[in-house]
Amino acid sequence: MQTTRQGAFFARLLFYWARAFVEQLPAGGDYETLRPTVCIGLLAHDDTRYPRGHTRIGLTRDGSAERQTALLDLHVVNLPRLLQEKASGGLPPADEQVLRWAEFLLAKSQDEADAIAAGDPAMEKANETLKELFDDEDARMLARSREIGLRMYRHDMAESRQEGAEEGREEGREEGREEGREEGSAALREAVLDVCGALGIVVGPARRDWLD
C-alpha cells in the first residue's frame, strides 16, 4: 500500500513479487512446482503514471499482446481513479470487488472495516487477521516506529535537497544531489533505529534486513 508518490514504486512492487515467487522453491526444488504469484500495489493517492483505476501488468512478447505466463501477475490499483470511474459509471463490473477491497483496506475505523467486510467470507477472514495483527503490541510498535521514521526521513530529505542545491551551485549540481541522497538514506535508518530503541523494540537481524 502506498500513500504518497514514490519514484521507485514499480521497482518496489516487482521486488516484493520476486521475493514471494522465489520463496516458493526450496533448495533442490522442482521448477514445475512454482505457482502463479500475484502482487497488488494499492495507491491511496492519484499517481498519473497509472491513469486507470486498475492496471494489470504481466509478461508479453515483442509484437504480441498475448500473456506469456501466468506466473507473474502484478496489479496496480489507483483508488482515486477507481472512485472517479465508479462516479462516472465507467467502472467495469470486475473492478467492483477490487474497489470494495481497496475501500476495506483504507477504512478509517474498525467499524467502517467491519461494515465493508460483512457478508464476504474472504474479506471477513482478512478483517479478523488484521485485528489479530493490530492486537500484537510488537507489530503495532514496529509499524508506528516505521511511520515516525518515514516522516523524519521526508523531513531530512527536504533539508538534504536544499543543502544539495546550495552546494550544487557552488560545487556542481550532481555532487550536491548525491550527497543529499546519501545523507537522507542514512538519516532514515538512524531515525527508525532510534525510535525502536526508545520504544524498547529489539531490532534483530531479520528486522534490520527488512529496514534496509
Three-state SS at 3: coil
Over 60: is that where the pLDDT of 141 sits?
Answer: no
Please give the radius of gyration of the chain, using alpha carbons only, rounded to the nearest integer.
21
**pLDDT confidence of residue 190:** 63
Give the integer Cα–Cα distance in Å for 92 and 169.
51
In a 10 Å sphere around its CB, with 0-12 CB exposed, 13-18 middle and 19+ buried, how is residue 106 labelled? Answer: middle
**pTM for this one?**
0.56
Spatial neighbors of 199 by CB under 8 A, at least 6 apart, are 141, 144, 145
**pLDDT tier at 98, thresholds 50, 70, 90:** confident
pLDDT digits (tens, 9 = 90+) for 154-201: 555 666 666 666 665 656 556 655 655 555 555 556 655 555 554 455
- Closest Cα partner for 85 from 102, 109, 108, 65? 102
